[in-house]
């Protein structure tokens, strides 16, 4: 299967601003209490490179007004089917796809042992230019730890591999792991334009607020495409 090293213009924001802001407070609500061992807080050394923060989130252009060139390896569009994150023991985890419901909330089922992580279908597919987004639960009262329970333990330099329906495996290197209070979620930093193929893994974290029934924070893993090969 040929891997397309595309040099295309940078895609716009994943969804309109109102939809993104709705995701900030409502993404991955867990209707459960914490299990005895809560998710690990990311290392303070796991900082996001400044190059990923695009500020306004508008399409990047050159001084002439033309689209800015992309950097690094870029693949064509192909839906993701499975996820490998060796550092936290995830192997061949089946991926589904999630959209938004009528209230602009990620339509992810309640957490249980069978609830997979899912690619947000409004985002680029893994390997395309822009931030591809994969979300997953952290835990639940009934099922215990879920697919992204150990996400906060990841460190820069570790790898994430996504197998795609076209038979290619997109390999990403982690550049940063951050934890944000949901009221201070950096929408443009997470979902804004990139000049390269990026990946975002997102789950809940921090303190569990029993009064409202969900975690107060989100954990975000930032990664960049560095290689691709056949499955």
pLDDT for the residue 213: 84
Are 40 and 152 within 8 A, CB to CB? yes
> Do 125 and 222 belong to one domain?
yes
pLDDT digits (tens, 9 = 90+) for 93-106: 999 999 877 777 77
Is 62 a domain residue? no
Is 28 a domain residue? yes
pLDDT for the residue 106: 74
Is 53 a domain residue? no
| Confidence at 212, pLDDT banded by 50, 70, 90 | confident
* Four-point Cα dihedral 103, 132, 97, 115, nearest 10: -90
Residue 217 belongs to domain with CATH number: 2.40.260.10
Report in angstroms the alpha-carbon separations of 145 from 16, 120, 133, 162, 211: 33, 22, 21, 22, 21
* Domain total of the chain: 2
> Do 29 and 107 belong to one domain?
no
Are 155 and 213 within 8 A, CB to CB? no
pTM higher than 0.75, yes or no? no
Mean pLDDT, rounded, of the chain = 76
Is 26 a domain residue? yes
Residues of the domain holding 4: 1-34
Is 190 a domain residue? yes
């Amino acid at each position: 299967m040929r891997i397309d090293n595309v040099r295309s213009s940078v895609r716009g924001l994943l969804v309109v601003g109102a939809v993104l802001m709705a995701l900030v407070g409502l993404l991955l609500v867990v209707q459960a209490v914490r299990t005895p061992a809560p998710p690990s807080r990311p290392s303070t050394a796991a900082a996001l490179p400044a190059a990923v923060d695009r500020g306004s989130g508008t399409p990047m252009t050159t001084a002439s007004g033309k689209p800015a060139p992309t950097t690094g390896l870029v693949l064509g569009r192909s839906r993701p089917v499975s996820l490998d994150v060796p550092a936290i023991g995830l192997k061949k985890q089946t991926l589904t796809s999630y959209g938004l419901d009528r209230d602009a909330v990620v339509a992810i089922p309640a957490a249980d042992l069978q609830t997979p992580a899912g690619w947000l279908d409004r985002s680029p597919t893994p390997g395309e230019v822009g931030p591809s987004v994969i979300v997953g639960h952290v835990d639940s009262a009934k099922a215990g730890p879920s697919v992204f329970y150990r996400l906060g333990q990841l460190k820069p330099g570790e790898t994430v591999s996504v197998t795609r329906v076209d038979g290619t495996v997109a390999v990403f290197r982690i550049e940063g792991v951050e934890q944000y209070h949901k009221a201070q979620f950096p929408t443009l930093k997470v979902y804004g334009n990139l000049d390269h193929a990026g990946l975002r893994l997102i789950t809940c974290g921090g303190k569990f607020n029993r009064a409202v029934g969900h975690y107060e924070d989100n954990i975000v893993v930032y990664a960049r495409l560095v290689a691709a090969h056949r499955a």
